[in-house]
Amino acid sequence: MQTTNHKNTRPLFIGFYDAKLLGIRYLSAALKTQGYHTNLIFMKNFNSYNVDEPTETEYKLLIDKIIDLKPSFIGLSVMCSFYLSVIERVCDDIRKVTDVPIILGGAYGTLFPVESLDFADVVFRGESEEAIIEFADAIEHGTSYEHIQNIAYMSKDGAVVNEIRPLIENITHLAHPDFGGDHMFFINSDKIGQGDPGVNAHSYELTTSRGCPNMCSYCSNSTIRELYKGKGKFIRQREVDDVINELLEAKRLNPGLQILRFWDEIFPWNAAWVKEFTQKYKQHINLPFEVWGHPRVSANLENTQLLVSAGLSKIVKANGRAGDFPRSPCVISDCGMA
């Protein structure tokens, strides 16, 4: 819930190649609870493999919008290394028009904080809802942010990588991802539009949990899990009512919603949670949905049948062979989690 005590600091977040990017939506929502007015820019349509560089027109649209918004700091979300050349270009262009701090977060910043300082002034690692509020408060009051856990920055003596704070234990209490509103912009096909590009989409994406039970060697989650060793319970689950409330709001803002996609690393398979979820989902939401699963975790026929009865239409397998999963009325597909 947004407070009425508005602050002078105006954060701007930019997400690349995913108009539904949850990371910056969660950070924006956290800041809004503290009275900060945020803006979000989504740059280009979803693309995770053959990334096409923005056109000169699109770069210019981005910089012109930054000049127009006059942000107090600019946050870039970087999921992978495929588009680092784009990040470098954007940072160079930003520094030509403003001297506000550039911060960088996402999986790349978490795994490579020192390398990320080649682009940004401050790097955020791991879950940063609490850290971003502390950083915005420091900017608001003109105080130092160098003590903030989860960040990395350059000092006169070189790169400083601060300690990671404990994991957020109760993720049910987190504000729902920022969704809807004229404080969002979308740049694609040499055009810029105002408004959340997700509002008119046929699908809505969310997570009901944080953390992955697997330690796949090819996936960044194995490294992130080691990073958080001793920092609290890694796998955490939202309460069912909290998930349903988020979906009710999504349906209200997007009456044309047709399908939901749960992007949990592995969709929860706890029997009690699944039973409560399917009952309330059918009653209040009643839309087809997709989940990610794994044969070792998700191979429970009773749970599968309950989820299918509630609208489960597809299980995206993190890895493993299709034959490892029991037959069910839903579609099963393969998807690498690299």
Of 72-81, 294-303, 310-319, where does the model show the most confidence? 72-81
- Write the burial class of residue 39 (CB in 10 Å: 0-12 exposed, 13-18 middle, 19+ buried): buried
Q: Give pLDDT tens digits for 7-16.
A: 999 999 999 9
Residues of the chain with CATH 3.20.20.70: 202-334
Contacts of 21-24 with CB under 8 Å at 24 or more apart are 21/77, 22/177, 22/205, 22/206, 22/207, 22/263, 23/77, 23/105, 23/106, 24/75, 24/77
Residue 326, pLDDT above cutoff 50: no
Cα separation, 110 vs 224, whole angstroms: 8
Q: What is the mean pLDDT of residues 200-229?
A: 90
SS3 (DSSP) at 153 = strand
Q: Kindly report, as residue ranges, where domains of CATH 3.40.50.280 are found in the chain.
A: 11-193
Residue among 89, 119, 86, 85 nearest 105 (CA): 119
Instruction: Please write the tens of the pLDDT for every residue from 140-198.
Output: 999 999 999 999 999 999 999 999 999 999 999 999 999 999 999 999 999 999 999 99
What would the pLDDT profile of 222-269 be if each residue is shown by its tens digit?
889 999 999 999 999 999 999 999 999 999 999 999 999 999 999 998
The backbone torsions φ and ψ at residue 15, rounded to the nearest 5 degrees and listed phi first, read -110, 145
Distance from the first to the final alpha carbon of the chain: 34
Domain at 11-193, CATH from 3.50.50.60, 3.40.50.970, 3.40.50.280, 3.40.1780.10: 3.40.50.280
Query: CATH fold of 202-334, please?
Result: TIM Barrel (3.20.20)
Asked whether 283 and 307 are in contact (CB, 8 A), the reply is no
